[in-house]
Chains A and B, each alone.
Chain A
Amino acid sequence: MREITLSKAVNEALAEEMRRDETVFILGEDVAEAGTPFKVLSGLVEEFGTDRVLDTPISEPGFVGIGVGAALTGARPVVDLMFGDFLFLVMDQLCNQAAKAYYMSGGKLNVPMVLRTNLGATRRSAAQHSQSLHALVAHIPGLKVAMPSSAYEAKGLMKTAIRDDNPVVIFEDKLMYQDKAPVPEEEYLIPFGEANVKREGSDITLIGTSSMVQVAEKAAEILAGEGISAEVIDPRTIVPLDEKTLIESVKKTSRAIVIDEGHQSYGITGEIASRLNEKAFYHLDAPVLRMGAMDVPVPFSPALEDLTVPTPERVVEAARKLVSGELIHAA
């Protein structure tokens, strides 16, 4: 199968959906000629014109609000938010308006809008351009949240997101845009709420989101060398979450680590861990571990920044302890 970059995969998904459905359009900063700072959208304006690939001023609440209004009235906007960190600017439009319109209208109004943005540290971009804020929006009922872990997922999830009748936030890892993966030429969609078992194993389950799937896979590789068999699962969407696959896996392995690049406290790792504790408690041989980003703003200095994110080595270390029966958090 051909291999393409994550960037190209997103580009193809958008182009295909825009060809299929003329109500789809793109709205955001420097999305047209510049094709975004990450060059993900290059070429789209040439094919679809400036009526469907609209450059906006630096007015995030404004253009997200415009996206909501267009979606409420029959369009399918893909709103481009250059950095996930700018979510803080648009929270009202996204969380008070988009997320609640369907519910508040008793099912009369809906918002088929995609907000595409990114996450991820270690790009030396400091505290306001490195955050992974997906937990924030996952917390709000009414919003769906997709987290592609490779080019394949990026394309399939984007196409599903555009066809979904609800507001969907997609987080791409900004360090993965140039990573290649096999992506079929033929059309495919990835349904929401279906986890992907990336690797089967019997001793421990490693659940990773976005680029943390790679971290989990690398850890599993190292653990295999030590005779520990790790299962790796990518939930692909955290809202909806495919609990069933996660629970089945943990029932089999009896141990789990949840790895995610959002801050560890009050985050995705805690949410998934507690669902496993609630629903697979009697199958567990150890507490489910959370492994998120350190609870500090992302520091600029490389010497500090690298300490704040989960790494395969840290996952391996924790997995070893869990499997050997060491009581990690026993007081």
Chain B
Amino acid sequence: MAQSKTTKTTKTKTNSEDYLRMYRQMVRIRAFEDQANQLYLSAKMPGLTHMYSGQEAVAVGICEALNDDDRITSTHRGHGHCVAKGAEFKEMFCELLGKAEGYCRGKGGSMHIADQSHGNLGANAIVGGSMGIATGSALRAKLQGSKDVSVCFFGDGATAQGLWYEVMNMAALWKLPVIYACENNGYSEYTRTDEIAAGSILDRAKAFGIESFEVDGQDVLAVNELSAKLVERARKGEGPFFIELKTYRYHGHHVGDINRDYYRSKDEEAEWKKVRDPITNFGKWLESEGIASADELVAINDEVAADAEAAVKYALDAPYPPGEEVDMHVYKGIEHALA
């Protein structure tokens, strides 16, 4: 479903329409991932992919504070960011299946999905690989006097990349409109964060004089409220900022990481899903505030699930790119690099 952008402001969401859109966007991410996981399990998807399920409130809370002009950089776990920034299911599934109608004409796949039209500069298969890109985008905004803000999504594991410290230093020196958003889901691959991160991640950003915040990444309203404030301030030249969002990934590191008891207990997973699910909890809040009834929420879930299913079906039947595209897009300005 196309998202209406006309009513969007970068103010904190406070009316029913905004709340329902946030709910729907989180449900869309979950539905997308459930289908993607099925595609893998039924051997219909080439390669592996990393599920965003469980972290929906982060992408949606932040992206709902942004406009299409604002840029994001994403990660290997990037479907959530892509959906939240406004992407369509069809083009996304086509990309995951390597089809010609995919956002990147099948050249990128899950780990490189990008959606230029909504300001998504792309997922990245190099952990931390987008930190320079987001910061560079922010420098461009400052130099050219445009008001857009860049958000750099990355995981807790990525805080081990030296690049982050280099670009934070420059972003702070030059007061760039960039927000570093660390999705701390407690693990990098098969290792607990506390085994690979010394000291406090928050303090590392603070050491550069960057205003830093910690927020519950399962609470979409809290994420959105903080993000909206920081985005507005970044537009006024008060950036950069750092946000650490505590969250959890429901699946394995990737879809193939199924037997994972050796590094993460089933109880822990069950607990997060039961008590801290961002969609269930926000749904309950919508009900308690009288914004939506349980039936209305179910209707949204069903509608989104049907959308996702239809998009998958479409993508499965869609054609692959013709072989002649293999040497296209190597150099801009040269149609076929090997012609």
A residues bordering B, Cβ < 8 Å?
Answer: 29-30, 33-34, 37, 55-59, 61-62, 85-86, 89, 123-129, 294-297, 299-304, 307-308
Contacts and interface: CB of A to CB of B under 8 A. Distances in A.
B320 A303 contact: yes
Contacts of A299: 106-107, 326
Interface string B158-175: 101110000000000000
Contacts of A127: 107-108, 112, 125
Given A55-B191, A59-B162, A301 B106 contact: yes
Interface in B183-241: 188-191, 195-197
A301 B321 contact: yes
A167 B160 CA distance: 25
Contacts of A304: 98, 106-107, 320-321, 323, 325-326
28 contacts: A30-B189, A33-B263, A34-B189, A34-B263, A58-B188, A59-B161, A59-B162, A62-B160, A85-B126, A124-B98, A125-B48, A126-B107, A127-B107, A127-B108, A127-B112, A128-B111, A128-B124, A128-B125, A296-B337, A300-B106, A300-B112, A301-B46, A301-B107, A301-B321, A302-B98, A303-B320, A303-B321, A304-B325
B316 to A, nearest CB: 14
Interface string B296-328: 000000000000000000000000110101110
Contact of B197 (A57, A125, A303): A57
Contacts of B161: 58-59
Contacts of B195: 55
Given A89-B126, A300-B106, 15 more contacts: A34-B189, A57-B160, A58-B196, A85-B125, A126-B47, A126-B125, A295-B327, A296-B338, A300-B98, A300-B112, A301-B106, A302-B46, A303-B98, A307-B323, A308-B326
A133 B46 CA distance: 23
Interface residues of B, number: 42
Contacts of A296: 326-327, 330, 337-338
B127 interface: yes
B327 A58 contact: no
A97 to B, nearest CB: 15
A175 to B, nearest CB: 12
Contacts of B320: 301-304
Contacts of B107: 126-127, 297, 299-301, 304
B208 to A, nearest CB: 18
A135 B121 CA distance: 30
B128 interface: yes
Nearest to B129: A128
Which residue, A33, A37, A126, A308, has most C-beta atoms of chain B within 10 A?
A126
Interface of B: 46-48, 98-99, 104-109, 111-112, 124-129, 157-158, 160-162, 188-191, 195-197, 262-263, 320-321, 323, 325-327, 330, 337-338
Which residue, A29, A55, A58, A59, has most C-beta atoms of chain B within 10 A?
A58
Given A30-B189, A124-B46, A61 B106 contact: no
Contacts, number: 125
Contact of B127 (A58, A123, A126): A58
A248 to B, nearest CB: 34
B171 to A, nearest CB: 20
B263 to A, nearest CB: 6
Which residue, A29, A128, A300, has most C-beta atoms of chain B within 10 A?
A300
A127 B113 CA distance: 12
Contact of A125 (B47, B127, B323): B47
Contact of B160 (A34, A58, A307): A58
A86 B321 contact: no
A96 to B, nearest CB: 16
A57 B196 contact: yes
A37 B189 CA distance: 9
Which residue, B188, B191, B338, has most C-beta atoms of chain A within 10 A?
B191
B326 A30 contact: no
Contacts of B326: 294, 296, 299, 304, 307-308
Nearest to A56: B196
Contacts of A301: 46, 98-99, 105-107, 109, 320-321
Contact of B125 (A30, A58, A129, A302): A129
Contacts of B196: 55-58
Contacts of B190: 30, 33-34
A86 B46 contact: no
B195 to A, nearest CB: 7
A304 B327 CA distance: 9
A126 to B, nearest CB: 5
Contacts of A34: 189-191, 262-263
Nearest to A128: B125
Given A62-B162, A296-B330, A299-B107, A33 B126 contact: no
Contacts of B330: 295-297
Contact of A128 (B46, B48, B99, B126): B126
Contacts of A59: 160-162
A297 B329 CA distance: 10
Nearest to B254: A37
